[in-house]
Amino acid sequence: MKTSKNIQFLVYLTIMLILLSIIPEVSFAAKDSSDDGKGNQNKYMREDARNSSNNKTGDTGGTGNFTADKERLQNNFSIKDRNRTSEQKQEKNQLREELQVNQQEYKEAKGEFLKIRNLVRAGKLDPNSKETLNATKLYLNSSINYMIAHLSNVKSNVAYSNGNGTDEKAIAVAEKIKLLEAEKAKIANASSQEELLVVIRSVSGVWNNAEKTSIESAGQTVSERIGEFIEKSENLSKQFRTEVDDLNETGVNTTDLDTKLASYNFYMKSAKENKEAADAIYSGENVTRKDMEKANGYLRQSLSDINTANNIIRQILNELKEYETENGKETGVEDNQKTALNNTENITGTNNSSIITDSPESGKNVSYGNGKSHSSGNGAGTFTKKL
């Protein structure tokens, strides 16, 4: 009879591990690579009004107007916007620290839980013992705390987003957090493994729904940032066109520059089309995980196009700078270069890093960037694994 109960309990433990394998392993880089000076796309994703205002290009009425517009935009960057950005950074830092603490506690609790399972499997520990029950409760609580920390980060990202329906999404995530908090109370009152298994199934359902919201919100946030950059790039292209035409009028052969500019416009058009394809999916009804994976693929391609366009911008700017140096003519290229590269690096990164979003421990990783894609399997899925 005892053997039968042990087997039954081992089944419970196995179910627990399977159901809770959906927990996100890491939602931020350990040291947050966006702060290491490498221009990670995550930095762009986590800052909103500051980058939009500081880097926005003006109308294309020549270098003088460009500089004046830039100064005007910088002067219009209000104290309120600065405070909002500062508050967001502080909140993100706090959430990141809390997430890392909960991640560590989750790992430790899971390790102890696995030890208990092995002892029960070996017949060295009674599955109904207080030690077993406490270890299980600790594992469940740490799992839920980790989920809540993760969703709190998602809610913050949504709240600071400028996209449509952000209030509704933030409320939806907040509701999921409340549901998880309620499950913690049930864990405290549980007196058997059977009761805990009921809680686990409930938590699994809440998390599955929350994870979908998380991935969708992250994708829409990335799409929003891409849209902001594409809008700026259109003005930037016109500015380049003006400067190249000015050179051509002085007798300079601008064939190579014309080709590069056409190539730049081609990749930016492709980036825009891929973004719009992703948006069409996100805005649809009854969107499935498979649909979101397809949308994420469009965003990855959009970012790849932008990265290519970024490299072309560098080439164009370097050539314009050479003409400026050779002819002793002030074209404003140096000032434009700083602004242009700020615009592109904020979203693509100088080291081809990927935009980082949430991914579950189950290996259902979602990546935006070069060289990484969705994967499946058991391994620790992380934001740093380049939704």
pLDDT tens digits for 349-359?
A: 433 333 333 33
Q: What is the pLDDT of residue 192?
A: 85
Q: Is the pLDDT of residue 269 over 60?
A: yes
Q: Is the pLDDT of residue 239 over 50?
A: yes
CA distance 332 to 212: 47
Among 34, 42, 79, 76, CA closest to 58? 76
CA torsion sign for 118, 121, 125, 129 is positive
Instruction: Record the pTM.
Output: 0.59
Q: Is the pLDDT of residue 101 over 70?
A: yes
Among 187, 140, 139, 197, CA closest to 12? 197
CA distance 85 to 82: 5
Residue type, 231: E
What percent of the chain is predicted at pLDDT more than 90? 22
Mean pLDDT of the chain: 71
